[in-house]
Amino acid sequence: MKKIVDYRKLLGVTDAAELQELKLVYRGLMKAWHPDKFQDSAESKLEAEEKSKTIIEAYHFLVSIAPETRNQSFADYTLTTTTAAIADFEYKSQVLKVSFTDGNTYEYFDVPKAVYVKLVNADSPGRFARRHIYNEYVYRSISRLVATA
């Protein structure tokens, strides 16, 4: 997904980056782009504010999809995907957002449109998702963003 690639490029990390590396890179970039360092002109301060917001957003997003974060919440994820029914789902730009009856919501990235169409047309969307989506695509919880980096 373009968003993931762009955020990794912004922070200068690979897809194998661990939480500790993300944290170090994030802190270094925030030191360099902190708006308080750009007091010489309003324009440069505004640019630094925008850049720091983007860095913060990228960091939080990449932490939410990091393997360590997913491992921390894997038991809850498994419980939700095996016991809760799908309450609703939405597809936009290769991102499938699935809301469950237990209140959890997950985003799945790089889901092809053909897979989404099959989900919509499936006799049992829950069974289809368990077989073809839940363990096949990068996901993150958006109901409870959990990370302890």
Residues in a beta bridge with 91: 96
Tokens in use for 76? 């809850």
Q: pLDDT tens, 65-116?
A: 998 998 999 999 999 999 999 999 999 999 999 999 999 999 999 999 999 9
What local confidence, expressed as pLDDT, does residue 146 receive? 45
Whether 139 and 70 have beta carbons less than 8 Å apart is answered as yes
pTM of the model: 0.82
